[in-house]
Amino acid sequence: MTIYRGGCHCGRISFSVSGEIDKLLACNCSLCSKRGGLLWFVGREQLTLDSPKADELPTYRFNTRRVAHHFCDVCGCSPFSEAPGSGGKEMAAVNARCLEGVDLGAYEVTHYDGRNH
C-alpha cells in the first residue's frame, strides 16, 4: 500500500493518505467546477491529518450540507472534503492535485455531472 503526502499550498494543512489510486473524478457541480479539483475517494480512516485537526479547519457546506469541504484560510487551497458515504461509512474526497509527486496524467478520470444531480 502506498502512502501519499499532501496538503495546501502554504503548508498549514498537511496530511498523509494510504491506498492505491485507481481513478480520479472530475465533477462539474457549482463548487468543483470553480475550484478545479480531481477527486480520489478513500475511506476516512485512510486519511491522517498532520496539522491541524479536522474540526479546526475552515469548512464550507452547501446544498444538502452533508459534505464538509475543508480549505486553508491562508492560501485558499481545498485539499480534501469529508462526508458519510453509502452505508454510512465515513469517506474522504482527496484533491489529487494537492498530493506530492503524483502524475495525474497516469490515471483514468471519470467525469461526473454533479451540476444536474
List the pLDDT tens digit at each of the 117 positions of the chain.
999 999 999 999 999 999 999 999 999 999 999 999 999 999 999 999 998 888 899 999 999 999 999 999 999 999 999 999 989 899 999 999 999 999 999 999 999 999 998
Residue 48 lies in a domain: yes
Residue 71 lies in a domain: yes
Residue 86 lies in a domain: yes
Residue 38 lies in a domain: yes
> What range does the domain containing 10 cover?
2-112
β-strand pairing of 47-51 with 108-112: unpaired
CATH code: domain of residue 106: 2.170.150.70
Residue 81 lies in a domain: yes
Number of domains forming the structure of the chain? 1
If DSSP codes are grouped into helix, strand and coil, which group holds residue 51? strand
Q: What are phi and psi of 108, to 5 degrees?
A: -70, 135
46-58 pLDDT per residue, tens: 999 998 888 899 9
93-103 pLDDT per residue, tens: 999 999 999 99
Helix, strand, coil percentages (3-state) for the chain, rounded to 5, are: 20, 40, 40
Residue 117 lies in a domain: no
* Cell reading at 12: 498549514
* Cell reading at 26: 472530475
C-beta contacts of 62-69 below 8 A and 24+ residues apart = 62/30, 62/31, 67/93, 69/31
